[in-house]
């Protein structure tokens, strides 16, 4: 599963809109959409924060995306 697909699944499980994630992680509007649609991936430095927010390990977050 790609990073974007995994992120979308985790976000939807929490019932969060994309815009909320942009705000929580201090991202420009539309960044999460770009991740979920496979256009971009987050900076490596942000991965631990994202994984921590969802309560998973970084390697579980990136899975096949490595």
Burial tier of 66 (Cβ tally within 10 Å: 0-12, 13-18, 19+): exposed
Res 62 pLDDT > 90 = no
What are the residue ranges of helices labelled H in the chain?
A: 3-13, 18-24, 31-36, 47-54, 58-62
Domain boundaries, the chain: 3-65
Condensed to tens digits (0 to 9), the pLDDT of residues 29-45 reads: 999 999 999 999 999 99
Q: Are the C-beta atoms of residues 1 and 64 closer than 8 Å to each other?
A: yes
pLDDT computed for residue 64 by the predictor: 59
Res 66 pLDDT > 60 = no
Look at the domain 3-65 and name its fold: 434 Repressor (Amino-terminal Domain) (1.10.260)
């Amino acid at each position: 599963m790609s990073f974007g697909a995994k992120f979308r699944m985790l976000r939807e499980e929490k019932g969060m809109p994309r815009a909320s994630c942009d705000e929580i992680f201090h991202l420009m509007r539309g960044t999460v959409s770009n991740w979920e649609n496979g256009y971009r991936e987050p900076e490596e430095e942000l991965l631990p924060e994202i994984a921590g927010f969802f309560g998973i390990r970084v390697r579980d977050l990136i899975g096949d995306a490595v």
